[in-house]
A and B are shown apart, each in its own frame.
Chain A
Amino acid sequence: MRGILRIAAGHLFTAFRERVTLFWFLIFPVFLLAILTLIFGNMGQEGEISFAISVVNLESNTAGPVDFAAIVEGVFEETGTASEEGKEPLFTLTHPSDGEDLEEFLAREKEALRLGHRAAVIVIPEGFNQELLERMMRSSSSPSGNGALTIYINEGSAASEMATSIIEQILAGVDREILTHIGHFQEEEAIPSETLWVGSGGEELSYVDFLLPGVILMGFFVNGLFGVPGSILFARDRRVLRRYWVTPLTVPHYLAGFSLGHLTLCLIQFVLILVLGRFAFGATIKFAEPMPILFLLLGAVTFLAFGFFIASVAKTANAGMASANILNMPMMFLGGLFFPIGGLPTFLKVIVYANPVTYLAEGLRMSLGVQGETFSIPLTLAVPVGWIAFCIFVASRRLSWDVK
Chain B
Amino acid sequence: MMRAFQALLHTEYTVFLRDKASLTFTFLFPVIFILIFGFLMRGMGDVEDARLGLFVPAGVESKILERTVSSAGSMSVTLYDDQSSLQIALEKRTIDFGLIWDGTKLLFLYDSSRVQENYAFEEVATGITADFSLARQGLSPVLSVEKIHVGREAATDWFNLVVPGILAFSILSAGLFAVSGHITAMKERKLLDRMIVTPMRPIALLAAIICVRLAMVYISTLISLFIAMTVLHLAFDVSWFYYTVFVVASTLGMMGFGTLIALLVRKPSSASNIAHILSIVMMFLAGIYFPIEIMPSYLRTLSKALPLTYMAEALRYATGVIDMTETRFWGITVAMFALAVVLLPLLARYVVSPDRR
Interface size class of A (residues with CB under 8 A): 35 or more
**Contact A156/B126 with A171-B143, A178-B143, A370-B113 known, Cβ cut-off 8 Å:** no
Residues in A whose Cβ lies below 8 Å from that of B21:
318, 322
User: Do B294 and A365 touch across chains, with their CB atoms under 8 A apart?
Assistant: no
Our pick among B24, B105, B106, B115 for the contact of A205 (Cβ within 8 Å) is B115
User: Do A374 and B43 touch across chains, with their CB atoms under 8 A apart?
Assistant: no
Q: Write the nearest CB–CB distance from A135 to chain B, whole angstroms.
A: 5
Within 8 A of A (CB), among B1-56: 20-21, 24-25, 28-29, 32-33, 36-37, 39-44
A194 close to chain B: CB less than 8 A:
yes
Residues in A whose Cβ lies below 8 Å from that of B90:
198-199, 372
A223 close to chain B: CB less than 8 A:
no
B353 close to chain A: CB less than 8 A:
no
**Contact A194/B24 with A141-B140, A151-B146, A345-B39 known, Cβ cut-off 8 Å:** no
Within 8 A of A (CB), among B108-138: 108-117, 119-120, 122-123, 125-127, 129-134, 136-138
Nearest A residue to B294 via CB reads A43
Bound Cα distance A158, B114 (Å): 19
Nearest A residue to B156 via CB reads A155
Bound Cα distance A325, B158 (Å): 27
Nearest A residue to B131 via CB reads A172
A164 close to chain B: CB less than 8 A:
yes
User: Do B106 and A179 touch across chains, with their CB atoms under 8 A apart?
Assistant: no
User: Do B112 and A132 touch across chains, with their CB atoms under 8 A apart?
Assistant: no
Bound Cα distance A178, B132 (Å): 17
User: Do A140 and B140 touch across chains, with their CB atoms under 8 A apart?
Assistant: yes
User: Do A333 and B148 touch across chains, with their CB atoms under 8 A apart?
Assistant: no
Our pick among B28, B106, B115 for the contact of A193 (Cβ within 8 Å) is B106
User: Do B322 and A145 touch across chains, with their CB atoms under 8 A apart?
Assistant: no
Residues in B whose Cβ lies below 8 Å from that of A196:
107-110
Within 8 A of A (CB), among B145-160: 145-152, 154-156, 158, 160
Nearest A residue to B143 via CB reads A175
Interface of A is mostly: mixed
User: Do A114 and B299 touch across chains, with their CB atoms under 8 A apart?
Assistant: no
Please report the number of residue pairs spanning A and B whose Cβ atoms sit closer than 8 angstroms.
279
B60 close to chain A: CB less than 8 A:
no
Within 8 A of A (CB), among B230-286: 269-270, 273, 277, 280-281, 284-285
Bound Cα distance A326, B31 (Å): 12
Bound Cα distance A342, B51 (Å): 13
Provide the A162-178 mask, 1 if CB < 8 A to any CB of B, else 0: 10110011011111101
B193 close to chain A: CB less than 8 A:
no
Bound Cα distance A368, B86 (Å): 23
User: Do B156 and A156 touch across chains, with their CB atoms under 8 A apart?
Assistant: yes
A344 close to chain B: CB less than 8 A:
yes
B198 close to chain A: CB less than 8 A:
no
User: Do A147 and B113 touch across chains, with their CB atoms under 8 A apart?
Assistant: no
User: Do A154 and B125 touch across chains, with their CB atoms under 8 A apart?
Assistant: no
Within 8 A of B (CB), among A193-230: 193-200, 203-207, 210-211
**Contact A191/B277 with A113-B150, A196-B107, A372-B113 known, Cβ cut-off 8 Å:** no
B92 close to chain A: CB less than 8 A:
yes
**Contact A339/B41 with A156-B322, A171-B145 known, Cβ cut-off 8 Å:** yes
Q: Write the nearest CB–CB distance from A210 to chain B, whole angstroms.
A: 5
**Contact A115/B324 with A189-B136, A191-B106, A370-B113 known, Cβ cut-off 8 Å:** yes
User: Do B294 and A149 touch across chains, with their CB atoms under 8 A apart?
Assistant: no
Bound Cα distance A129, B120 (Å): 32
Q: Write the nearest CB–CB distance from A24 to chain B, whole angstroms.
A: 8
Our pick among A178, A318, A334, A372 for the contact of B91 (Cβ within 8 Å) is A372
A-B contact pairs, 7 of them (CB 8 A): A23-B277, A39-B294, A153-B150, A158-B161, A175-B130, A330-B36, A374-B91
**Contact A191/B136 with A156-B151, A198-B112 known, Cβ cut-off 8 Å:** yes
Count of interface residues, chain B, beta-carbon cutoff 8 Å: 93
Bound Cα distance A140, B138 (Å): 9
User: Do A142 and B144 touch across chains, with their CB atoms under 8 A apart?
Assistant: yes
Q: Write the nearest CB–CB distance from A361 to chain B, whole angstroms.
A: 10
B323 close to chain A: CB less than 8 A:
yes
Bound Cα distance A144, B154 (Å): 26
User: Do A151 and B106 touch across chains, with their CB atoms under 8 A apart?
Assistant: no
B141 close to chain A: CB less than 8 A:
yes
Our pick among A164, A178, A195 for the contact of B147 (Cβ within 8 Å) is A164
Bound Cα distance A152, B49 (Å): 23
Which of A46-54, A241-249, A300-308 interfaces with chain B? Answer: A46-54
Bound Cα distance A40, B291 (Å): 11
A192 close to chain B: CB less than 8 A:
yes
Within 8 A of B (CB), among A131-146: 132, 135-136, 139-145
Nearest B residue to A121 via CB reads B150
Within 8 A of B (CB), among A99-147: 110, 113-116, 119, 121, 132, 135-136, 139-145, 147
User: Do B134 and A156 touch across chains, with their CB atoms under 8 A apart?
Assistant: no
User: Do A334 and B36 touch across chains, with their CB atoms under 8 A apart?
Assistant: yes
B296 close to chain A: CB less than 8 A:
yes
Bound Cα distance A339, B159 (Å): 15
Of listed B104, B106, B150, B155, residue having the most chain A CB within 10 A: B150
User: Do B36 and A207 touch across chains, with their CB atoms under 8 A apart?
Assistant: no
Bound Cα distance A342, B116 (Å): 14
Nearest B residue to A234 via CB reads B269
Provide the B282-306 mask, 1 if CB < 8 A to any CB of A, else 0: 0011000011011111010000000
User: Do A110 and B112 touch across chains, with their CB atoms under 8 A apart?
Assistant: no
User: Do B141 and A175 touch across chains, with their CB atoms under 8 A apart?
Assistant: yes
User: Do A159 and B291 touch across chains, with their CB atoms under 8 A apart?
Assistant: yes
Nearest A residue to B149 via CB reads A155
A386 close to chain B: CB less than 8 A:
no
**Contact A154/B150 with A198-B90, A210-B113 known, Cβ cut-off 8 Å:** yes
**Contact A39/B142 with A156-B155, A197-B110 known, Cβ cut-off 8 Å:** no
Residues in A whose Cβ lies below 8 Å from that of B122:
195
A340 close to chain B: CB less than 8 A:
yes
**Contact A348/B130 with A49-B293, A171-B145, A191-B136 known, Cβ cut-off 8 Å:** no
Of listed B116, B284, B291, residue having the most chain A CB within 10 A: B116
B62 close to chain A: CB less than 8 A:
no
Residues in B whose Cβ lies below 8 Å from that of A387:
none
User: Do A156 and B152 touch across chains, with their CB atoms under 8 A apart?
Assistant: yes
Nearest A residue to B119 via CB reads A44
Residues in B whose Cβ lies below 8 Å from that of A280:
none
User: Do B108 and A195 touch across chains, with their CB atoms under 8 A apart?
Assistant: yes
**Contact A198/B91 with A149-B145, A156-B322, A193-B108 known, Cβ cut-off 8 Å:** yes
Q: Write the nearest CB–CB distance from A390 to chain B, whole angstroms.
A: 24
Nearest B residue to A136 via CB reads B142
Nearest B residue to A119 via CB reads B293
Nearest A residue to B154 via CB reads A156
